[in-house]
Chain A
């Protein structure tokens, strides 16, 4: 098999790595930008010859914990893996569970899920872009990204009642209906964000320092991206048109007209710019969802019937779902189910094995950050030491998500 350039360069430099010449630097686990994660970076002069990502500082045994809980209780648990993108990460679990239970989701609920997913995606990208700013000490991008994220958190709060831990998607539907005036506020947020994106371009993306730091740094070639199993914006920035929203039929994505942005360069700057493109697309999806959203129930008929009539009436009045008693002990038939969902960071994959008891036999989560972690091992090699934070910033790696 022909070796691609990335791994070849990696091997070549690793051969040059003999104990005496190399200077070891430990980055993290307490670090202004890296978060809960350590890198052992080996330098030959100023050139990185080897990076060892040392993960697991925020491992919370989520998969094992899920085996000890009833199905429904794992939703708030998994949400903590990627707190900044909580609807997207739980949606995969809920979908796999629905497959096991054999439930159809009503159309309005599908649209609402899509709505929150896209709000989450924008917030997640803004978080990533803010960090990409502070990794080259651009504090304005950092503050702007985190500040403007607030708008989307407030929208999510209006929709779900919580800023981050929404627990919005539940088996068979969603937990609450669209509030009044939500459309106006969402459109206002979109208009604001469109204006802000132009400011971002001015101060950050067209800034000569940013371009010098991010352009042509950490180039990920198309073949390498495919072979290493990279997902999400990092993959699409290398010219591969792959998105779980396209390949899986979930939410309302089949009924919505949207384009998945792809860039060819594969360098750090294109990875960042792709996130800007995705924010634009997400805002377009939100607009379409608000236009097209059908009327109807937000919980599957099967579960609605189980709710006492009195509660069902308050449910209709308040637009908030009261859980049927059955939810406490959902018993899917024995079997397996998988589901994929596109998160802000990439594709999350769930595999649930049920043995017919109220608790799952096994839940396997493959999170996008865990798959993208490989990039931090391969991309910085051969670059200068100061490129390491830039590459880290461009990959948008989220340690709690990878560690689970």
Chain B
């Protein structure tokens, strides 16, 4: 009987939200699945637009869906080269940090009603603040590699941060002001009937563009200016270290998409009660579906746009996004003053 009790205890432990949320859903395992699938989706969509096949020959019957698994395996067995002049400790730690830091906020992101690893009153600013740490790691990376291209890439990253970060925070706060809370769970529960994007479309647009900038997706993939600076801060990375830094961008995209859906697209509503009875997190599956579709849309932008110039991106950040985000705050205040109540 002891063995059964232990097994039961382990299962209960795994299924308890503080463990299940960061490890399985919406945490690590989900992130891994997303990494393996979204890159394939991105390449397939781009291929469709560009009249090509895209990944195909690894697992031909399912359209090459296992291509990313093959790539990841290759990354694992590739030689890792540390440049002689690089600061080796920072050089080796930074890629791991660049994957972990964007993943950390997941413990504060609720996946279903009262299903969150660590429940705090200030989850929205916490999530944004932690995800804002990633650029620092990228700059460390750029500096550690001690290479001309990486340093230019690092400087570009620093410039980009100041271009988007303010707008990202302000447009998120505009929603917090309107709903009168900084707790993501409360924000979602107030959107049950009406998603936030209808009430404050300005904030949604600003947050969206700032999000695309933050995750270095086209048309703002300026940091990895392949055509002039090879791969930006990631130039010197090889093997699994490169795999990590490449994955980091998608992880950040995933987290910010979750936040976007919770702020503007009414999160886990429509809540599926039937699934929720099996396990609480499953009921909020519409949050995941919406976030995934949003990610697909963002990676699709790659087949539409080229890359903006650095100074153009910065001026978009300061001249358009910042005033728009401030306007969205006033819009929220106006809605409150007009007595719009959810």
Contact = CB atoms under 8 A, between A and B. Distances in A.
Given A212-B309, A213-B309, A139 B228 contact: no
Nearest to A386: B309
B227 A32 contact: yes
A60 to B, nearest CB: 26
B304 interface: yes
Contacts of A34: 227
Contact of B226 (A32, A147, A212): A32
Contacts of B189: none
A23 B222 contact: no
B307 A209 contact: yes
B160 to A, nearest CB: 13
Given A25-B149, A137-B218, A143-B51, A388 B228 contact: yes
A349 interface: no
A386 B305 contact: no
Contacts of A387: 309
Contacts, number: 85
Given A388-B228, A389-B228, A140 B49 contact: yes
B309 A139 contact: no
B240 interface: no
A203 interface: yes
Interface magnitude class on chain B:
20 to 34
Interface in A112-157: 133-141, 143-144, 147
Interface in B275-325: 302-312
Contacts of A389: 227-228
Contacts of B193: none
Interface string A5-45: 00000000000000000011111000111100000000000
A210 interface: yes
Nearest to A203: B304
Interface in A30-73: 31-34, 46
Contact of B148 (A25, A137, A203): A25
A139 B302 contact: yes
Given A139-B46, A143-B50, A207 B305 contact: yes
Interface string A386-398: 1111000000000
A384 interface: yes
B152 interface: yes
B221 interface: yes
Interface string B75-108: 0000000000000000000000000000000000
Interface in B218-240: 218-219, 221-222, 225-230
Interface in A229-246: none
Contacts of A143: 50-52
Nearest to A388: B228
A194 B87 CA distance: 55
A385 interface: yes
Interface string B204-226: 00000000000000110110011
Given A137-B227, A139-B50, A209-B219, A384 B305 contact: no
A137 B221 contact: yes
Contacts of A32: 226-227, 230
Contacts of B229: 25
Contacts of B228: 25, 27, 385-386, 388-389
Interface in B222-263: 222, 225-230
Contact of A139 (B148, B303, B311): B303
10 nearest A-B pairs in the assembled complex, by CB-CB distance: A143-B50, A138-B306, A136-B306, A389-B227, A137-B307, A386-B309, A209-B306, A209-B219, A209-B305, A140-B303
25 contacts: A24-B148, A25-B149, A26-B148, A31-B227, A46-B310, A133-B306, A137-B227, A139-B46, A139-B302, A139-B303, A140-B49, A140-B303, A143-B50, A143-B51, A143-B52, A147-B51, A213-B306, A213-B307, A213-B309, A213-B312, A384-B309, A384-B310, A386-B222, A386-B228, A389-B227
Given A25-B148, A384-B310, 11 more contacts: A23-B148, A24-B148, A26-B148, A27-B228, A137-B226, A138-B306, A207-B305, A212-B312, A213-B307, A213-B312, A389-B228
